[in-house]
Structure 1
Amino acid sequence: MAYEAGRSFPNAEALNLLHAVGFDVLYVVTGVRNGAALSNEDSSLLADLNQVDEKGRTLAVTTMRSLLDTYKRLS
């Protein structure tokens, strides 16, 4: 591949496609792993959460925390 040989470099569109299928784009560009990277599912959930108003956000966060607390107690 031309990327691996250093003869070509991915453009923003290619990087976006790589990210969409789960690649760590920071690593592709810099060679440094992004330990704080979210999974695509986590990113999608946060994007959805950011689309609701403050009341909906509070409800969603409170509900999620309650479910996680219950799960931890049962585990």
Structure 2
Amino acid sequence: MSRVFAGLALVHHSAWPACEIIARHLVAGGECPRNLMPFLDDAHQVGLLRVVGPVYQFRHADLRDHLAGRSKG
């Protein structure tokens, strides 16, 4: 992963190619769904996420913390 970030730091680019490279890397590692936008839209429709401007946010802090690997106590 560090090679990916190093390569991005050395090249002048817009944000979109960088986002695409990172997304592909996360999908290949099983850390991100292949079709991210439909996944986020579904999570929004069932109430797990809310949309604030261009950003998706978790509606429940406990779920966010659980998915991030942080637990209370």
TM-score, normalisation: structure 2 = 0.28
Q: Which has the higher strand share?
A: 2
Q: Whose radius of gyration is greater, 1 or 2?
A: 1
Q: Which has the higher helix share?
A: 1
TM-score, normalisation: structure 1 = 0.28
